[in-house]
Amino acid sequence: MTVLDVIQRSTDYLSKKGVDSPRLQIELLLAHQLKLRRLQLYLNFDRVLTAGDLEALRAFVTRRGERVPLQHLVGSVSFCGMELGVGPEVLIPRPETEMLAERAVKWLGERKDAGATGLRALDYGTGSGCLALWIASKCDSVEVHALDISAAALERAKDNARRNSLDSRVTFHEGDGLSSWDPGLTLDLLISNPPYIPTEEISSLEPEVRDFDPRQALDGGPDGLTFYRRLASEASEFVRPGGLLLLELGDGQGDSVRALLSTEKWVVEAILPDYSARPRVLVAHRH
Ligand SMILES: C[S@@+](CC[C@H](N)C(=O)[O-])C[C@H]1O[C@@H](n2cnc3c(N)ncnc32)[C@H](O)[C@@H]1O
């Protein structure tokens, strides 16, 4: 069987299984297996696959048809160009979260340029470590901390730190929110992509998300706002006056989260849209 045969047959198969963008999926799996760039496949359509490659691809395609996420099959994802390992213990970082990461780096850079020293940042609910690691890689004078309630997620985040030679740059903490945060570690920046899916909506999500992202990474409580409510009060104790709170928002949550943070402790500065023009990032300052 040639590369093109595999693409055609697998595209049909994945399409029948309800997989989104089936041709792209098989191309990415093929490229991974053959250690080629995806576009190089187009120059290799007539290449005949070895029995070993075919067997591996059959297993990949079957599992993808069972709606196992592509990123779990290939074992990694690119976040802001950084390669991160992923598995069922962490949320697969999403492209829209890169906005949050870039905004944080921009603000920290401006603070540094304005002469600020000893800046400290916390990634609340770090999962794969994507936000903390990107900040650590870009802002070498900032002390970076990462927190998660899940020990398994933290193991993965630490592994990603080693993989990107950032293990000496991030301190990892296991904890339920900021309930046991050291009051001595006041923060200039708190960044979070918290769980924000309303509990009842989880069962209607795509199988790749519903069955393979950790429930703890998705479940935002009955109205999806539990963590924003928690952060509005918890974070105000630890973020320094003038410090920044950067939060990713779920669909349609902008007004509610703005209202939750419009207290005497916080000033909501902006709600920024994502690439699909949906309100996605809330920027607030501590009074
Ligand atoms: C939506 S995921 C975000 C992961 C990663 N920051 C990202 O953007 O891809 C939310 C994370 O919050 C963590 N989490 C859930 N409840 C928590 C809690 N009470 N305290 C700390 N972390 C929590 C989950 O384990 C999960 O890793």
Distance from the CA of 23 to the center of ligand 1, in angstroms? Answer: 32
Contact in structure between 128 and 164 (CB atoms under 8 Å): no
Q: Is the CB of residue 147 below 6 angstroms from any atom belonging to ligand 1?
A: yes
pLDDT the model gives residue 166: 98
Q: Nearest 5°: phi and psi at 207?
A: -55, -35
pLDDT digits (tens, 9 = 90+) for 216-265: 999 999 999 999 999 999 999 999 999 999 999 999 999 999 999 988 89
Q: Is the CB of residue 153 below 6 angstroms from any atom belonging to ligand 1?
A: yes
Query: Residue type at 250?
Result: G
Does residue 30 come out as left (phi exceeding 0), alpha (psi in the -120 to 50 range) or beta? Answer: alpha
Mean pLDDT, range 27-48, rounded to an integer: 97
For residue 274 the two structure tokens come to 């994502």
Q: Is the CB of residue 224 below 6 angstroms from any atom belonging to ligand 1?
A: no
Taking alpha carbons only, the member of 116, 177, 110, 108 closest to residue 144 is 108
> Is a pLDDT exceeding 90 seen at residue 24?
yes
pLDDT the model gives residue 264: 87
Q: What is the pTM of this model?
A: 0.97
What is the CA 181 to chain-centroid distance, rounded?
A: 23
Distance from the CA of 127 to the center of ligand 1, in angstroms? Answer: 5
pLDDT the model gives residue 251: 94
pLDDT the model gives residue 171: 98
pLDDT digits (tens, 9 = 90+) for 73-110: 999 999 999 999 999 999 999 999 999 999 999 999 99
Distance from the CA of 65 to the center of ligand 1, in angstroms? Answer: 28
pLDDT digits (tens, 9 = 90+) for 143-178: 999 999 999 999 999 999 999 999 999 999 999 999
H or E segment and range at residue 122: strand 120-124
The residue to mutate among 82, 86, 91, having the most atoms of ligand 1 within 8 angstroms of its beta carbon, is 91
Mean pLDDT over all residues of the chain? Answer: 97
The residue to mutate among 82, 126, 238, having the most atoms of ligand 1 within 8 angstroms of its beta carbon, is 126
Taking alpha carbons only, the member of 270, 269, 193, 266 closest to residue 236 is 266
pLDDT the model gives residue 263: 86
d(CA 124, CA 194): 7
**Nearest atom within ligand 1 for CA of residue 123:** 6
Residue having the nearest C-alpha atom to atom 8 of ligand 1: 193
> Is a pLDDT exceeding 90 seen at residue 275?
no
pLDDT the model gives residue 120: 98
For residue 7 the two structure tokens come to 């693409």
Taking alpha carbons only, the member of 223, 252, 211, 191 closest to residue 92 is 211
- How far apart, in Å, are the Cα atoms of 234 and each of 92, 180, 230? 26, 11, 6
Give the confidence band of 53 by pLDDT, cuts at 50, 70, 90.
very high
DSSP, residue by residue, 72-106: HHH-EEEETTEEEE--TTSPPPPTTHHHHHHHHHH
Q: Is the CB of residue 193 below 6 angstroms from any atom belonging to ligand 1?
A: yes
DSSP, residue by residue, 146-174: EEES-HHHHHHHHHHHHHTT-TTTEEEEE
pLDDT the model gives residue 229: 97
Q: Is the CB of residue 195 below 6 angstroms from any atom belonging to ligand 1?
A: yes
Mean pLDDT, range 197-204, rounded to an integer: 98
